[in-house]
């Protein structure tokens, strides 16, 4: 295991201290867990971007228009007015 000196603003360190006390764990373990979680999230977003780049919107629309039955959505599944926006996967 490698050691890495980390400098952080005092207010963030204080939040880390409080969180580690609430979680009943060391600050080191808390920060390690948060870094691992953040890296996992980053990897997932990058993977979704790669997969989206391989997608074929025309083929998907063709499937939706020819295979999926044209029925009204279930209650609560209706599209909202601004639903034409693409998801934001920016980091």
What does the pLDDT look like over 53-66, one tens digit per residue?
A: 999 999 999 998 88
What's the pLDDT score for residue 50? 96
More confident residue, 43 or 4: 43
Confidence bin at 73 (pLDDT 50/70/90):
confident
Q: Please state at what angle helix 10-23 crosses helix 27-54, rounded to 10 degrees.
A: 100
pLDDT per residue as tens digits for the range 21-44: 999 999 999 999 999 999 999 999
Does the pTM exceed 0.75? no
Of 8, 30, 35, 5, the closest CA to residue 19 belongs to 30
């Amino acid at each position: 295991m490698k050691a890495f000196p980390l400098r952080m603003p005092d207010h963030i360190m204080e939040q880390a201290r409080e969180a580690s006390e609430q979680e009943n764990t060391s600050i080191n373990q808390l920060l390690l867990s948060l870094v691992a979680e953040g890296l996992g999230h980053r990897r997932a977003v990058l993977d979704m971007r790669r997969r989206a780049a391989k997608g074929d919107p025309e083929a998907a629309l063709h499937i939706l228009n020819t295979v999926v039955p044209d029925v009204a959505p279930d209650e609560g599944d209706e599209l909202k007015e601004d639903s034409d926006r693409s998801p934001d996967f920016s980091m």
